[in-house]
Structure 1
């Protein structure tokens, strides 16, 4: 399984810092691989359970997209100021363990 985190927008967005963050589960030790799989499952369940919010756009807010490639394709999206908790946890994990 692989994940790609893309961030768009925000104040002071620099093109080099906006490149996607990539994470391949094969690069993780077994315990972190299990955590990655759990976080993906939780974010998938959260996206299915929570209807999309139509929050008022935030000036200089960012939008986030996580594409998860495995047997199927999963695309998760969120935007400031309403980033759901499971999405945020997965995004933090990908940022911490992935690379640009």
Structure 2
């Protein structure tokens, strides 16, 4: 699997921070690879469940997208201030283990 995290919006423009964070499962240890797969499955389950009505958008809020490529392509998205817990966990993992694209 391959993940790409894109962030849009927010206060100010920082071009280096606008580049996506990418993560390739082959670069992970077996334990981290298993955790990555678990987090993707949790985000998929969360996205498929009925969600409460989204909170009102905040000024200068950010929008986040995580695209997963592999056997089963997935697209997840969330925006400030209401980021679902499984999405937040997957986003944190991608940030910690991935790198900014060039």
- TM-score past 0.5 threshold: yes
- CA drift of 1:52 comes to 6.8
Size of the aligned set, in residue pairs, is 100
Q: Does 1:65 align with 2:79?
A: no
Unaligned runs of 5+ in 1: none
CA distance in 1, matches of 2:53, 2:23: 27
Q: Deviations over 1:30-87 (max 9, x none)?
A: 0000000000000000000133743211000000000000112100000000000000
RMSD: 1.1
CA distance in 2, matches of 1:52, 1:74: 21
Which segment drifts farther, 77-86 or 47-56? Answer: 47-56
Mapping for residues 5-16 of structure 1, pairs under 5 Å: 5-16=5-16
CA distance in 2, matches of 1:38, 1:73: 15
Mapping for residues 22-33 of structure 1, pairs under 5 Å: 22-33=22-33
Change (3 A) 1:30 1:62: same
Structure 1 stretches of at least 4 aligned residues deviating more than 4 Å after TM superposition: none
Mapping for residues 33-72 of structure 1, pairs under 5 Å: 33-51=33-51, 53-72=53-72
Residue aligning to 1:88: 88
Residue aligning to 2:18: 18
Unaligned runs of 5+ in 2: none
Which segment drifts farther, 6-15 or 27-36? Answer: 6-15
